[in-house]
Structure 1
């Protein structure tokens, strides 16, 4: 379903004249294959958050192997270094140079054989700054854009259209449009501050961090000015000429159910009988 939604969204943008050159997504295998086979001219990047999460899981598995326990002490540093490599680089080549340097760094080697990143940028690590150094034994990460804003929008949608409820296509479309209006109005809110002018922060404990924390900037209170605009439109335009908007609503095409496209013809009748029994019983 994610791949189908992505394909339709991309087609919709292209039909409206948008020339898509780069795309940043999570690591969904179906989307990867679709872009690789159907849109070879589009550069596909991965969001660093998903890359970091995947690396963290691999380190968790690695630490369970014999003699690999010390690797776990570097888990947070490795994930942070991945973020830093992506957000401080001007090109994919520079991301690779910085990211691969970590293989030297964790062995207490801070000079690297790469002109794009010849040495670590930190001060000499001595005394209390010493770490548990380890003995010796092509990326698609996005250097500029991330999917965090899209994830925030998806989270906001749940307030307008909870997953526990079922809506018609037009009902869901209306709720998505309201969510988009609310998000667009509040997406670039400033960071909140105290009365004395100090910036405010919050500490979160995401499940995927297994007890570790994340520091986030607290934003100012969201606004809903779009509601006044919609109410003005309702009483000034819609009430005066409701037929015009009724015709527009009826012209909105309702696509076929996705599940109907993937049911084998010889199984469709049995599926419909099963659905009929289910809805009668509930």
Structure 2
């Protein structure tokens, strides 16, 4: 005796059919612990059994096995020494924790290798009629033996409702990782891997993935706000990102971030034609974010933003302390210096541009108060002239060691 294909013994249909390992069915004769079924040659299975139901003969006798039954089916040799009572196990041994489908391992399988499993009948070894059906990454095979009426349906992946799970997981993995469906489609076509269409991908995103993301975001946002409510006033930073640069943007998303945890507190999408133009989108986005925090009982201690004029006036009216973002300040300052360095008498400034940018960030990070930041920033004028002692008592001397430049064109010490 040798097991092939579906691990169905050669004498399964000739004598009787036994099920074990947790399959619940009806036993014609006497009861045993696992409720196995003894089937005589004149009784045939007609369809996939339902737990607790009684099997009835069909008009066309055939054996139907699905993927779940094949994994649970265990047929023992039907020799004279075989005893059905010997395979009875305890209920604790039958309880198996099911593994989630999404965490199951997946493999790349060639179609020719799959068809080898369905070419011949596992009962009578006759060549079978095999039909296939495909939906994206999903493939199903139907096997029918015209000689003994053996019939089987096999699926490459589970189906949730009417959606193949592999297609849905591929769409989710592409969406969650920020990948491009078009690039992924090129890779699949290069390998001749079967894949669903872009329309299917968008259906998955609209019906499953995006609602899941929104639900998860609202849950995490509510949990974070509840944690911050216990700590009093919060320090936040806000900025807007538009779909196009300049004043021709149609959409913009304004984001508020908690400064201590670097976690996003709120995000608001603003459309320009709903607020009177793209110039007003940033103020509207900030207003909606602050309203969201206020409605949840969070008071703002201070906020870090860019130097947008409308933002400054709006925060001043609300009596909220505002700080400028260092990146925006350094960006505008560097543009002016870069323009100045192109003048004939200021060419030496080009060699200082990178150090000046670093000095701006260092002044903001290393200072504990606003006047100290100003004192360190103004020390740059003396530093580039090789003067390292300053009149301001908050920063009376440069902190770097003395280092004489070997380049005569610099005209100063360089750090």
Does TM, scored on the shorter chain, surpass 0.5?
no
Q: More strand per residue: 1 or 2?
A: 2
TM category (shorter chain) comes to: 0.3 to 0.5
Give TM-score, length-normalised by structure 2.
0.30
Question: RCO (CA 8 Å, sep 6+): is it higher in 1 or 2?
Answer: 1
Give TM-score, length-normalised by structure 1.
0.44
Q: Determine which structure has more spread, i.e. the larger CA radius of gyration.
A: 2
Q: More helix per residue: 1 or 2?
A: 1
